Structure 1
Amino acid sequence: MSSVRVCTRKDGSVYTQVLFREFDPAKGRRVQASVSFDDHKAALSWQKILDQVGPEKARAMLAAEETVQGEKTVTLNDSWAETYISGLTGVEQATRNRYRRYMANDIGPAMGDLPLPALCAATADQNTVVQEWVNEMEADGVAPKTIANKHGFLSGCLRAAVKRHLLPFNPCEDTKLPKRRRECVFLEPEEFDIVYEAAPAKWRPLTLFLVTTGARYSEATALRVGDIARNVDHEGNEFWTCRIAKAWKYTGTSDYKLGGPKTQRGYRTINIPKETVDALRLAGRNKDQLLFRTRNDKRIIPQQFHNLCWKPTMDQVAGRIGKRPRPHDLRHTCASWMLNNGAEITDVSAHLGHESIKTTVDVYGHLDRRSGHRASTAISRALVRTAVQKG
């Protein structure tokens, strides 16, 4: 551990030395070293960094900070992160609270006291502080999605700092994030039949609705009876639609509130199969009543569906179908059924309410083999003129 010593020069000025030991390659051993500061507060701040990251990284960060001439020292902890969080627009209060928890529990302890320019300094292995923070979370077994969420917040925070000329560049932009290890699980229609028949009867309508609409759980359980509508086309054919314009939102407490869907394109009207409508038994129901509800006319929370329906059903059938999907995999299954039965990927994107077609392609593009078939057919035509075909 380092120590601090206040000293006086011959001219009477006072300065602060931070004393520590570091490895000297020339001598092959650790030796006493020091760094002096005219500002006592700056010395204490650097001492804290030194004890946290070690002499080599601390010196590199100090050098990076000194390249930003005349810039006031700003850290994530003392002001910038809160300034950024407070200034965000178009976000729920629960989101602000989550960001503050990221700062208090994850980012603050790791790099919150470092001057912002120091976050751009490269370490001996050419990593930034941000990359090493990500690596440490991965080594501790933090889920890739959780790492991506925390890194995404930090990246937005530092991007704003760049715009304010507090940073030369955003060190998050080149960070390599761990890949998500959880693969989507797709059920074949016959496999879903097994799941459906094993599910408790009272939960079957919700299970069928999730797989045939691809709605997110938070969207499906926010629907009212009146959101399901009977329609007739110009030829007199009956069809049914569902208007999705609400979803349950986490508030940071045990309470949830109704808000909009996850994305702007999440506001959508989708067609639903008559078989699904029949299972809902809408006749005689109040239009303002929750479509899926408890006996007390309350929303069905995810834990209820998981504990009372999904887990016991999976315990019963996982061995038979050779898979153990999550409830969210019903949404993936819906997409796979659409693609395997002639729907275009743009149709799937609109149906699921993805903000971007890129999301749909990235997740489900491998299921649509029509483009692959066209490619292989074109290659076959070319081979007709080669020695391969001629024998």
Structure 2
Amino acid sequence: MASIRERTRKDGTTSWAVLWRDADTGKQTSRTLATRADAQSLTDFLNANGQSFVLAAQAASKMRSTAPPVATVVSEHIEGLTGVSAGTREKYRRIAARHITPTLGAVPVDTLTRTDVNRWVNAMTVAAKTKKNVHSLLSAALTEATSRGLVDANVAKGVKLPTGEARREPVFLTAEELDLIVATIPEARHKLLVEFLAGTGLRWSEATALQVADLDLAQEHGVVAVSRAWKRAGGEWVTGAPKTARGRRSVVLPKTLTAQLREHIADKTPADLVFPSREGPLHNVVFHRLVWEPAMRALAGQLRARPRVHDLRHTHASRLIAAGVPLTVIQRRLGHESIKTTSDTYGHLAADADVAAAAALD
């Protein structure tokens, strides 16, 4: 523990020396101050920070700073963003509330150090991708704070993030496996939803936001117009634009699925949801708990791998690739903003299909 000793100088004046064994150097250290109050302040800071003068100095600096805290800087950054949807802004607010504010929120932004950021990153017990997203939000806010003159540099920039756990590989269901899943699901409306997701490649948020008016089933091959998706805003689910600009698209339906949908919507009005729950919108978490999970438990050991609902979208893409459909067509059908997304996710399947095609010519 740090202690104070009163000393009398040769000229008769008094000074106060603070003595402690520094945690960083391991050496007995002292510092002389002009007033008892200053000596007591340093002693208190040292005792509160494990006898580390560096940490004590940082703590003192934070107390004296007049800069806004990190929480305010991040919040102002989020609210000032342009070109983002209400749902995206709400997502950023949740990220800040869960992962930034509890640890760094009260720290004056001009006293935040690289060490603070490193410790914060290391302490986060989330997936590597989530950690990267959270760090990116903080770093963007600090970059803006730098441009505003609040800080000299962005101390979060260049922080090395862990690569983390391996990405979960998509599950590509065979036709037989998909039929098995559909047969295991009890209700006809849920069976049709699974077949629809696998037959169109739509995202869950897009498929469950569809209204009857979005379906044109007059021809043998029906067409679905995708123009909205469910998003979270202000703690509520609302419909907004699809995930990407290319998410607005028309998707041609298989013949069998077209016929099934005609029967399914026969007694619905144009404004009705195509795939509602009994109480309103059908949310993924409810479907997963009440329908998907029971089906997966019933099929334990009968599938090569345990799929997620989103793997129905992957399965759709894999079937198109196996049929020789170009990646550019698949990109438009899935609503990917960039062909790189399509290629990165499914390119290896296209290569496998090309090898199989070459082998067929031997």
TM-score by length of 1: 0.71
Q: 1:223 and 1:24, CA in 2 relative to 1: closer, same or farther beyond 3 A?
A: closer
Residues 116 and 167 in structure 1, CA contact (< 8 A), matched pair in contact too = no
* 129 and 275 in structure 1: CA distance in 2 versus 1, 3 angstrom threshold: farther
The equivalent position to 1:186 in structure 2, one of 156, 172, 196, is: 172
Shift of 1:245: 0.7
C-alpha separation between the residues in 2 aligned to 1:343 and 1:249? 31
Matched, 1:313 2:295: yes
Shift of 1:144: 2.9
Whether contact under 8 Å (1:49, 1:113) holds in the other structure is: no
- Deviation of 1:163 after TM superposition, in Å, equals 3.3
3-state SS, counterpart of residue 242 of structure 1: strand
Matched, 1:290 2:273: yes
Q: Which runs of 5+ in 2 are unaligned?
A: 5-16
Summarize deviations over 1:116-156 as a string: whole Å, max 9, x none.
465564xxxxxx5434322221xx3x223432332232232
- Shift of the 251–54 alpha-carbon distance from structure 1 to 2, 3 Å rule, reads farther
1:76 corresponds to: 70
| 1:159 correspondence with 2:143 | yes
Aligned equivalent of 1:175? 160
Question: In angstroms, what is the RMSD of aligned CA positions?
Answer: 4.1
- The partner residue of 1:150 within 115, 125, 134 is 134
CA-CA distance at 1:207 after TM superposition? 0.5
Please say if residues 75 and 112 of structure 1, whose CA atoms lie closer than 8 Å, have aligned partners that are also in contact.
yes
Alpha-carbon offset, residue 347 of structure 1:
1.9
Cα distance in 2, alignment partners of residues 268 and 35 from structure 1: 73
SS at match of 1:321: coil
Does the CA contact (< 8 Å) of 2:222 and 2:255 recur in 1? yes
Residues 95, 22 of structure 1: alpha-carbon distance in 2 compared, 3 angstrom cutoff: farther
Specify the alignment match of 2:226 in structure 1. Answer: 244
Measured after TM superposition, the shift of residue 208 of structure 1 is 0.4
Measured against aligned partners, the alpha-carbon deviations of 1:288-340 in whole angstroms (never above 9, x if no partner) come to 211112345x2212233112211111011131113211111111111222222
Change (3 A) 1:167 1:291: farther
Contact 2:215–2:223, Cα closer than 8 Å, also in 1: yes
| Cα distance, 1:80–1:222 mapped onto 2, change above 3 Å | same
Match of 2:203 among 216, 241, 245: 216
Q: Counterpart of 2:341?
A: 359
Q: 2:186 matched to which residue of 1?
A: 200
Residue of structure 2 aligned with 1:257, choices 225, 234, 238: 238
Asked whether the 8 Å contact 1:221–1:299 carries over to 2, the reply is: yes
State the one-letter code of the partner of 2:132.
Answer: A
Partner of 1:387: none
1: distance between equivalents of 2:132 and 2:46? 25
Residue of structure 2 in register with 1:22 after alignment: 22
User: Of 238, 246, 268, which aligns to 2:249?
Assistant: 268
Secondary structure of 1:239 counterpart: coil
The verdict on how the C-alpha distance between 1:326 and 1:110 changes in structure 2, with shifts beyond 3 A counting, is same
Cα distance in 2 for partners of 1:3, 1:243 equals: 75
State the shift of 1:61 in Å. 6.9
Structure 1 pair 118–227 and aligned structure 2 pair: CA distance change class (3 A): same
Identity of aligned residues (%): 36
**Counterparts in 2 of 1:19 and 1:357: CA distance versus 1, 3 Å:** farther
Establish whether residue 302 from structure 1 lines up as the match of residue 296 from structure 2: no
Return closer, same or farther for 1:120/1:356 CA change in 2, 3 Å cut-off.
farther
Structure 1 residues 242-285: Cα deviation after superposition (integer angstroms, max 9, x where no partner): 111111111343x3111111122211111121222222223453
Q: How many residues align?
A: 334
Aligned ranges for residues 80-119 of structure 1 at < 5 Å?
80-93=73-86, 95-116=88-109, 119=112
Structure 1 residues 163 and 366: CA distance shift in structure 2, 3 A = farther
Quote the Cα distance in structure 1 between the aligned partners of 2:353 and 2:146: 42
Question: Can you list the C-alpha shifts for 1:334-363, whole angstroms capped at 9, x where unaligned?
Answer: 122222221222222221112222222222
CA contact (8 A) 2:24 2:52 kept: no
Q: Could you tell me which amino acid in structure 1 is paired with residue 254 of structure 2?
A: P
Amino acid in structure 2 at the alignment position of 1:136: A
CA apart distance, 1:96? 4.0
